[in-house]
């Protein structure tokens, strides 16, 4: 989470809005969602942050591009208009 905040943060300091949505949105906390739902939300957020740039998103997530494509398909994540 901290590495991601450093990469996507717009300020010199890490701000709350730079942290993953799961850290500051109580509705998406781990108590309310399964691990699959949390992973899906995190992948969707990273893809949105990087405007669906698969290479950058995969690097940020620490996975291969092929793994990211597989998860996008498995979780039926679609680019929103």
Is the whole model's pTM more than 0.75, yes or no? no
pLDDT tens by residue, 34-50: 889 999 999 999 999 99
pLDDT, tens digit, 9 for 90 and up, residues 9-38: 677 777 777 666 655 455 555 556 788 999
**CA–CA separation, 19 and 71 (whole Å):** 22
Q: What is the pLDDT of residue 39?
A: 95
Average pLDDT over residues 67-80: 95
Structure confidence at residue 80 (pLDDT): 81
CA angle 36, 38, 39 (to 5 degrees): 65
């Amino acid at each position: 989470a901290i590495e991601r905040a450093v990469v996507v943060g717009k300020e010199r300091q890490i701000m709350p809005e730079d942290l993953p949505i799961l850290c500051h949105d109580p509705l998406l906390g781990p108590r309310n969602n399964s691990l699959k739902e949390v992973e899906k939300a995190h992948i969707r957020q990273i893809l949105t942050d990087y405007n669906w740039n698969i290479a950058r998103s995969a690097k940020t997530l620490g996975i291969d591009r092929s793994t990211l494509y597989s998860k996008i398909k498995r979780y039926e994540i679609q680019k929103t208009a």
